[in-house]
Amino acid sequence: MRDPAADVSVDESPDVPITHVVSVLRERLYGAISCLATLAVLARYTAEDTSGWVRVLDVGISAGGLWAASLLAEYIAHLGAQGHAPRGRDALRMLQSSGQILQAAAIPVLILGVGAVGWLATSTALWIASWFLVIELGFITWLAVRRADMRWWQRIIAVTVLAAAGAAVVIVKMVAH
């Protein structure tokens, strides 16, 4: 199975505007953080008898709603800035950027699906999906800073800070749960 985080990389040829690369990375981070926040809330309200399919649906609806909002916002912003609806390559880039939100939720949904079919407890699947997203946040941050004009230790700090923030969300929910 292909890792959706691998889709974060964008064709870096000169005809790809830097604003598109920024948009793709921003939407992927936003999608991962939002999915992590959703999982953290769901973990609090998941009992032993909670169906894994309900949690798959919860995350799917959350990610789908966020994706639709992102797509609509981008469409309206394009109308305002360009005076017309996005066409051709602009429309494809808009879909690629906003689609990062759905891709960020893909593996967590698969993990929850494993719980839904009974191979894991639903609560265990929620925690595994949450920790996966913490790792993904670190990976996405590394993709973002790997070529930045920063020293190696500054890159490590950037990755560590974002991953630690994600881990803090999970740990606080574990303690509160």
Q: Is the dihedral of CA 119, 3, 41, 131 positive or negative?
A: positive
- Tokens, residue 46: 């998941």
- What is the DSSP code string of 85-126? ---HHHHHHHHHHHHHHHHHHHHHHHHHHHHHTTSS-HHHHH
What whole-number distance in Å separates Cα of residue 99 and Cα of residue 163? 22
Residue 164 belongs to a domain: yes
pLDDT for res 71: 93
Contact (CB, 8 A) for 137 and 36: yes
Residue 6 belongs to a domain: no
The residue segments making up the domain with residue 52 are 14-176
Residue 160 belongs to a domain: yes
Residue 4 belongs to a domain: no
> Total structural domains in the chain?
1
pLDDT for res 19: 83
Spans of the chain below 70 pLDDT: 1-14, 173-174, 176-177
pLDDT for res 176: 65
Q: Give me the torsion for CA of 94, 100, 105, 110, rounded to 10°.
A: 100
Residue 25 belongs to a domain: yes
Residue 81 belongs to a domain: yes
Residue 85 belongs to a domain: yes
Residue 151 belongs to a domain: yes
pLDDT for res 2: 43
Q: Is the dihedral of CA 61, 63, 66, 69 positive or negative?
A: negative
